[in-house]
Amino acid sequence: MANNINRREFIKRSAATGAGAGLTLGMNRRTEAAFNNTDSPNGRIAIGFIGTGARAHQVMGDVLKLPGFEVVALCDAYKGRLGHAAELTKGRAKVYKDHRELLAAPGIDAVYIGTPDHLHKQHAIAALEAGKDVYIEKPLTYTAAEGLEIIAAVKKTGRILQVGSQNISAPSQIKAKEIVASGRLGQITMIRATVNRNTAGGAWIYPIPPDANPETVNWEMFLGSAPKHPFSLERFFRWRCYEDYSGGMATDLFVHVMTTIHFVMGAQAPDMVTAAGSLYRWKGSRDVPDTLDAIMQYPEGFTVNLSGTFNNQSAGERGIQILGTKGTLTLGRDLIFTPDYPVEDNEWIVDSWPSELQKAYYNDPKVIAAEMPRRWEPKVIEGEERWGSVGPDSTTLHFQNFQTAVKERKQPVEDVYAGHRAAAVAHMINWSAKHKKPVYWDRSRDNVKA
């Protein structure tokens, strides 16, 4: 196979794709002032962090480098991380007792929400109602029904909300969307995707900081409205392992994949989801599955086959393959287009015919053009195309997308609807695996069928 690798650079990227569903947007006085530069000294977005955990630290690293933002406020339920985040801002951000105090403080335009999943709805709605624009981590929700409540709050308040599956702001995923829309893949009827890991850290058994104890960890603040449970450092620092706070693999990892698939395919939600899975290996550390296999059927005419395990990674760690009649698009470290050259080969059938008929068949120019029996020269198969990424990382790009949305008062690329629907698929996968039944989407309610 000729390997004609064409490595392009993705320095330029599309502007905000405007995937929003036309919400009515408003500005509060401070935001207006900040962006028409009448009384804002620097026109920057003053942002507060609700949750300064592991992901928030990564995000803050990027946001602190972005010229359009100023990190002005922080709150968290564990002193160690709060202190470290405050250091990162060189003491410029003010530390607040909790999200309520932070949201009541003057001078904050927007918030980043990086708390555990079961707190997302509470923190998002409180922030929207306090007049803040919101960048919230994936998954938007802890249950599918919460999505509708957050959508209603965005509509009511007219604030901007971006959900944090940052990969869809990566140039490779924007390019993938263009390739799919161009028809270059032919008819797409299947997508295969996988997310596999085989380490304790990959399975969320994270190290617990040695100074964590009931004095440094605010257990009640962490619990929120979750079921009461005695103080547990495992639950606090490894909350993804427990259904009380998380949907496990589906809401932590599959939600990124589903966001990408919806974005690239221009799809909203599947008609049906069916899944199987269980906790086979990491027993004693969790109550969520470590292995999940899910099938989604989309009204656009394709199925998605999405699997994940924490018990192997040599079979392929992660990636998405979009399978079309004219080629495969693989989204992994690079974006790869591999052309499909289906060549007919009916030799074993025709060889059983009477000799005269065989001869006539093989002399037919149409057959010669279409088939590749052993006696003819193999067709030349042209090579694949591959694109690698350069430039800012996807979190920076996703935040810049949020920044543009805040300034232009237009919903960003991963608006509340996109976040709701991708998370809802993850909830459907969990429900189906648990109940061993298919589950359906109700388009009229924009939610799981009751």
Pick the piece of the chain touching ligand NAD (CB under 6 A) from 47-55, 283-291, 347-355, 406-414: 47-55
Position of minimal CB gap to ligand NAD: 53
133 near ligand NAD, judged by CB under 6 A: no
| Distance (Å, whole) CA 144 – CA 140 | 9
Q: Nearest-CA neighbor of 144 among 416, 417, 428?
A: 428
Task: Please give the span between the terminal C-alpha atoms of the chain, in angstroms, as a whole number.
Answer: 51
88 near ligand NAD, judged by CB under 6 A: no
- Closest separation in Å from C-beta 99 to ligand NAD: 5
Quick one: which of 133, 137, 385, 414 contacts ligand NAD (CB under 6 A)? 137
76 vs 371 by CB, closer to ligand NAD: 76
Tell me the C-alpha to C-alpha distance, in Å, between residue 303 and each of 322, 339, 424, 425, 440.
10, 20, 17, 13, 14
70 near ligand NAD, judged by CB under 6 A: no
Quick one: which of 115, 259, 396, 411 contacts ligand NAD (CB under 6 A)? 115
For the chain, what percentages of helix, strand and coil (3-state, to nearest 5) are there? 35, 20, 45
324 vs 412 by CB, closer to ligand NAD: 412
Using DSSP bridges, classify how beta strands 335-339 and 291-298 pair: parallel, antiparallel or unpaired.
unpaired
- Number of CB atoms found within 10 A of residue 1's CB: 11
55 vs 155 by CB, closer to ligand NAD: 55
SS (H, E, C) 43-105: CCEEEEEECCCHHHHHHHHHHCCCCCEEEEEEECCEHHHHHHHHHHCCCCCEECCCHHHHHHC
Q: Nearest-CA neighbor of 166 among 269, 260, 69?
A: 260
- Closest separation in Å from C-beta 194 to ligand NAD: 17
384 near ligand NAD, judged by CB under 6 A: no
- Closest separation in Å from C-beta 102 to ligand NAD: 9
Q: At which residue do the structure tokens 């009751």 appear? A: 450
Tell me the C-alpha to C-alpha distance, in Å, between residue 20 and each of 61, 151, 152, 277.
27, 12, 14, 34
- Closest separation in Å from C-beta 256 to ligand NAD: 7
Token representation of residue 255: 């939600």
52 near ligand NAD, judged by CB under 6 A: yes
Quick one: which of 164, 277, 289, 412 contacts ligand NAD (CB under 6 A)? 164
- Closest separation in Å from C-beta 338 to ligand NAD: 27
252 near ligand NAD, judged by CB under 6 A: yes
- Closest separation in Å from C-beta 347 to ligand NAD: 51
Q: What angle do CA 171, 172, 173 make, to 5 degrees?
A: 90
53 vs 308 by CB, closer to ligand NAD: 53
56 near ligand NAD, judged by CB under 6 A: yes
Burial class (CB in 10 A: 0-12, 13-18, 19+), 244: middle
Quick one: which of 62, 70, 81, 128 contacts ligand NAD (CB under 6 A)? 81
Contacts (CB under 6 A) with ligand NAD, residues 217-236:
221-222, 224
31 vs 395 by CB, closer to ligand NAD: 395
Using DSSP bridges, classify how beta strands 385-387 and 161-164 pair: parallel, antiparallel or unpaired.
unpaired
62 vs 384 by CB, closer to ligand NAD: 62
212 vs 350 by CB, closer to ligand NAD: 212
- Closest separation in Å from C-beta 390 to ligand NAD: 20
Three-state SS at 335? strand
Token representation of residue 390: 């350069």
Q: Nearest-CA neighbor of 253 among 129, 117, 360, 156?
A: 117
- Number of CB atoms found within 10 A of residue 136's CB: 28
Quick one: which of 69, 78, 399, 417 contacts ligand NAD (CB under 6 A)? 78
13 vs 79 by CB, closer to ligand NAD: 79
What angle separates helix 416-435 from helix 144-157, to the nearest 10 degrees?
A: 170
Quick one: which of 20, 48, 51, 247 contacts ligand NAD (CB under 6 A)? 51
Residues that bind ligand NAD (CB under 6 A): 50-56, 75-78, 81, 98-99, 114-117, 119, 137-138, 164, 166, 221-222, 224, 252
